[in-house]
């Protein structure tokens, strides 16, 4: 007898199609999308320029999807991608996770543009659905910056230096209890995330890393990220 879930209507949140054969669990991407977007089952993680966790590599189908989501945001699509980031975080070094006394705080990267990038706050909302991660808007832009898609690593670092302001320091014991995870949609050279982390650390917060939807490859500075 075929499993009941094969007959349940559960369209893929990324392509909107009802896949043939085994159906994904509600809210999960279908197998075809996972293959097309090259999404690793356990997500991705790394340590340069600071610890990071992501859903996949920025390029090809995933690049086109994220650029489309910037123009036409869809929370269910973002949530489906966020599952990969959460899986990567869950498979981190247990010794590192044990140092987190309580649930981490999610701090989205704010936009300096009048038409803000909608993905970091949507990503925060998706990550927080499990109830163990909480969003806290601690950053604001202290000045405008240049568009970075044509800038190399050194120019990106200079462009983002001093570009953030922390809205408040941690309360008594707050930094010890709640580690901070910076949230952005795409991690390229890490210049933006590093500048944000330095700003938060200077205010007394304990930054443990970055959560992203996609991470560029080794030649990330050469890939156009608007």
pLDDT digit of tens for each residue in the chain (226 aa)? 555 555 556 789 999 888 766 677 889 999 999 999 999 999 999 999 899 999 999 999 999 999 999 999 999 999 999 999 999 998 876 656 555 656 889 999 998 777 788 999 999 999 998 777 899 999 998 776 656 566 666 656 666 666 789 999 999 988 888 899 999 999 988 888 999 999 999 999 999 999 999 999 754 333 434 4
Residue from 133, 38, 129, 42 nearest 78 by CA: 129
Looking at residue 196, which CATH number applies to its domain?
3.40.50
Q: Is residue 127 part of a domain?
A: yes
Q: Is residue 86 part of a domain?
A: yes
Q: Is residue 73 part of a domain?
A: yes
Q: State residue 130's pLDDT score.
A: 75
Q: What is the pTM of this model?
A: 0.85
Terminal alpha carbon distance of the chain: 50
Q: Is residue 177 part of a domain?
A: yes
Cα-flanking dihedrals φ and ψ of residue 68, to 5°? -70, -40
Q: Is residue 4 part of a domain?
A: no
Domain count, the chain: 1
Specify which residues 38 forms β-bridges with: none
Q: State residue 208's pLDDT score.
A: 94
Q: State residue 13's pLDDT score.
A: 95
Phi/psi-derived region of residue 77, left when phi > 0, alpha when psi is between -120 and 50, beta in every other case:
alpha
Q: Is residue 9 part of a domain?
A: no
Q: Is residue 122 part of a domain?
A: yes
Domain that holds residue 71: 23-216
Whether residue 193 contacts residue 184, with contact meaning beta carbons closer than 8 Å, is answered with yes
Structure tokens at 159: 């462009």
Q: Is residue 225 part of a domain?
A: no
């Amino acid at each position: 007898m075929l499993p009941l879930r094969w007959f349940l209507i559960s369209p893929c949140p990324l392509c909107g199609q009802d896949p043939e054969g085994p159906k994904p669990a509600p809210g999960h991407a279908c197998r075809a999308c996972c293959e097309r977007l090259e999404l690793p089952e356990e997500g991705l993680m790394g340590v340069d320029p600071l610890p990071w966790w992501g859903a996949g590599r920025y390029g090809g189908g995933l690049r086109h999807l994220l650029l489309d989501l910037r123009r036409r945001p869809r929370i269910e699509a973002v949530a489906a991608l966020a599952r990969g980031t959460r899986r990567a975080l869950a498979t981190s070094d247990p010794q590192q996770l044990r140092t987190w006394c309580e649930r981490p705080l999610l701090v989205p990267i704010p936009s300096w543009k009048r038409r803000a990038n909608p993905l970091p706050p949507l990503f925060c909302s998706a990550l927080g659905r499990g109830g163990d991660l909480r969003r806290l808007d601690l950053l604001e832009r202290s000045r405008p910056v240049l568009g970075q898609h044509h800038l190399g690593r050194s120019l990106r670092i200079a462009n983002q230096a001093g570009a953030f302001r922390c809205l408040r320091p941690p309360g008594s014991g707050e930094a010890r209890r709640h580690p901070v995870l910076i949230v952005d949609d795409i991690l390229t050279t890490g210049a933006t995330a590093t500048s944000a982390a330095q700003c938060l650390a200077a205010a007394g917060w304990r930054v443990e890393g970055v959560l992203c939807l996609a991470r560029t490859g080794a030649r990330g500075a050469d890939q156009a990220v608007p």
